[in-house]
Structure 1
Amino acid sequence: MPVAATHPQASASLWQRLWLYQAERFPLGRTALLLAAFSASSISVSAHLAERPLPHLSIFAAAWLVAVIFFFQLRACDEYKDLEDDRAYRPERPIPSGLVSLRLILSIAALAVVPAIALTLTITPALLVPLALVWVWLGLMTAEFFMPAWLKARPFVYLVSHMAIMALIDLYLTGAEWVPHSLLPPAGMWAFLALSLINGCVLEIGRKTWAPESERPGVETYSALLGHDRAARLWLATCVVAWLLLLAVGAMVGSPLIVGGGSAVVLAAIATTVRTFMRKPTQAVQRRIDTLAGVWVLACYVLAGFAPFLPQVIAP
């Protein structure tokens, strides 16, 4: 049933409304920066694991643009899944408030299939296989694997099943380097793919660990499910697992000290923030957790992908 337009900018031009939509639901600048680090790191790690030189810059650019498309499609599918809850509990969001229509966002996501395929073909046609795997999993996620009630009753199974797409996206991104050379990824790639899955959990748990005054009826958060203390501990534990996987990746790319030391600094800031949140769970600390989740993921990929080059840069 159509939603009455209540957004103050609902009568603005299409481009203005899309700009407002991205600012709230898909902040393009921040997302593009994080995905640039993610995609470049994935390609770099694959090349280092296989002991090959880095591919041409055009490969990096194509993989990055496809990553942006993937994440917009993820956002569009979330809008579809969450529409009824948004209408009931978050009517101020762009779609239920009438700023943009769900049909428009889904149409853009569907049309983005064309440039994603075209960009993939510029790398190698064989990369269409991992591209298709991402889209198949995204479709299954959107359909809640055809068992929505069962998944909803098991929030941690839900979390892992949905964050598995991060590993599949990373399989595509690393594949931009290894697929043109081999049928199988380089030895040790498992740790990097697992890191992507766990980092997805770091982001998801971090953004859904809220202060008590932020909790809203109908909005599912880990702090509401577990209590703010246990949710904060879970987030810290997930960061520690990610750190251990990052150490494994650092050792395999030949930079264990740089990767381990740099990431330990961020992990220490995370531990301090968790302790503060457990003692005083305010909205300010909640925002710090959300920010640190993004900082952690960015640091992981910058360190894993670019630490191997540091000795060359600082060598006399």
Structure 2
Amino acid sequence: MLTNENNLPFFQRFLIYQKERFPFFSNGIFLMAFAFSAISYSRVCRGASGFVDWKLFVSAAITTISLFFLLRIVDEFKDREIDAAHRPQLPVPRGLISFRELKWLGWAAIAVQILVNLLFTPRMFGWLLVPQAFLVLMMFNFFVPDWLNRHWVAYVLSHMFFFPAIDMYSSGMDWYMEGPGHAPVGMVFFFAVSYINGLVWEVGRKIRTPENEEFNSYTKMYGLRKAVWIWMGVITLAFAMAVAASSYVNLGWLGAGLLLVIYGSSLLYGILFLRKPTVKLSRLIELASGGWGLLMYLTLGALPMILKWMGY
């Protein structure tokens, strides 16, 4: 006898929900690399030796993961009417998880952030408020929901500031907790890269073919070719900004070369999609958007730290 998944115990339903909407394992790896790279980049950028105290990294990693999970929950509330009307197959519209349960999960994520920072990094509470406050603004669409819904470009551009807001918190584990109290100049480029990478991810995950089109995809809004050109333009801008950021951690031609390989490999899927749009290639563009971000962050943050440890 088949069991209705909506009648399963909460923990089992939560496992299904996170698998579909926020896979903790894969997202956790990406976000730990995100936090590690932000800290490492700041550290190398200002010429400091070694890495930050392990407690600082643990605090940054756990807080970053929980902030992005909180973003997922905020989006569930913010998009509830749209999802119910256009995406009934998603976990919340189909009744797997209730909004009441999501609310408790959100409060649990906030409690984790407060507890971790209270235990390990109490001085970072002020910086933690930056992404938290931004999430509140996002939840209410900056208190101008009708205007933003009519101006989609402004909607997307405003929401992408969440990425550098988290970067400010994570990198602050170095420049604020163990440094001079202000971010090094190179962090401006790192923050800019994070912002643009948010756009790469946002556009890349919403490129579709006619047979798997969705109501809010960029291919539906702008047409197939224009949407792909927008994605390729944004990832090109991210590449240029990443090269600029690499110059502040003395990566030189090595950094530029690695970034070029990552960028070129990602861009190839867009070019192939323009020649022959397929569902498989649309999914590869989405994967490439995340892969570019992960490898780019590791190049900017982890690589210079490793080279420094090796004495180069």
CA contact (8 A) 1:39 1:63 kept: yes
Q: 1:172 to 1:311 in 2, by over 3 A?
A: closer
Equivalent of 1:265, from 261, 272, 275?
261
Query: 2:292 aligned to 293, 296, 306, which one?
Result: 296
Deviation, structure 1 residue 258? 2.5
Give a deviation string over 1:51-104, Cα, whole Å, max 9, x none: 113111221111000001100100000000111111111111111111111111
Q: Is 1:246–1:259's contact at 8 Å kept on the other side of the alignment?
A: no
Show the counterpart of 1:48.
Answer: 44
For 2:79 and 2:307, locate their aligned partners in 1 and report how far apart those are by CA, in whole Å: 47
| Aligned residue among 197, 220, 241 for 1:199 | 197
The partner residue of 2:217 within 213, 216, 221 is 221
Alignment partner of 1:26 is 2:22 = yes
CA contact (8 A) 1:250 1:260 kept: yes
Q: Please point out which of 145, 161, 166 is paired with 1:164.
A: 161
Aligned amino acid, residue 38 of structure 2: S
Provide the alpha-carbon RMSD of the alignment.
Answer: 1.6
Q: How does 1:169-248 map to 2 (within 5 A)?
A: 169-180=166-177, 181-216=179-214, 219-248=215-244
Counterpart in 2 of 1:126? 123
Shift of 1:314: 6.3
1:271 is displaced (CA, Å) by 2.3
With over 3 angstroms needed to count, the CA separation of the structure-2 counterparts of 1:117 and 1:97, relative to structure 1, is same
Please give the alpha-carbon distance, in whole angstroms, between the structure 1 residues aligned to 2:194 and 2:175.
Answer: 17
User: In the aligned structure 1, how far is the partner of 2:47 from the partner of 2:119?
Assistant: 23
Conserved 8 A contact 1:45-1:304: yes
What is the aligned partner in structure 2 of residue 138 from structure 1?
135
Code of the residue aligned with 1:207 in structure 2: it is R
Amino acid at match of 2:40: S
CA deviation after TM superposition for structure 1 residue 133, in Å: 1.3
SS, match of residue 96 in structure 2: coil
Letter in 2 for 1:79: E
Whole-Å separation in 2 of the counterparts to 1:297 and 1:65: 19
Q: Following TM superposition, by how much is the alpha carbon of 1:315 offset from its aligned partner in structure 2, in angstroms?
A: 6.6
Q: Does structure 2 conserve the Cα–Cα contact (< 8 Å) formed by 1:166 and 1:197?
A: yes
Residue 3 of structure 1: aligned partner: none
From 100, 103, 111, the equivalent of 1:114 is 111
Residues 158-180 of structure 1, C-alpha deviations (whole Å, 9 max, x = no match): 11100101010100000111112
CA contact (8 A) 1:44 1:305 kept: yes
Counterpart in 1 of 2:270?
274
Q: % of aligned pairs identical?
A: 32
**Equivalent residue of 1:10, what SS?**
helix
Structure 2 gaps of 5+ residues are: none
Asked whether the equivalents of residues 39 and 174 of structure 2 are also in contact (C-alpha less than 8 Å), the reply is yes
Q: In structure 1, list runs of 5 or more residues that go unmatched.
A: 1-6
1:93, 1:241 → 2: CA distance?
Answer: 33
Q: Give the letter aligned to residue 274 of structure 1.
A: G
Distance apart, 1:122 and its partner CA: 3.9
Quick one: structure 1 residues 129 and 99, their matched pair in 2 at CA, closer, same or farther if it must change by over 3 Å?
same
Contact 2:44 / 2:305 at 8 angstroms: preserved in 1? no
Q: CA deviation at 1:108?
A: 1.1
Deviations 1:122-148 (A, max 9, x none): 443331112111111111111011111
Q: Residue 85 of structure 2 aligns with which residue? A: 88
How many corresponding residue pairs? Answer: 308
Amino acid of the residue matched to residue 244 of structure 1?
A
CA contact (8 A) 2:201 2:286 kept: yes
What secondary structure sits across from 1:112 in the alignment?
helix
Q: Is the 8 A contact 1:259 1:303 kept in 2?
A: yes
* 2:88 equivalent to 1:100: no
* More moved, 181-190 vs 60-69: 181-190
Q: Find the counterpart in structure 1 of residue 75 from structure 2.
A: 78
What is the TM-score of this pair, normalised by structure 2?
A: 0.94
State the 1:312 CA deviation.
5.1
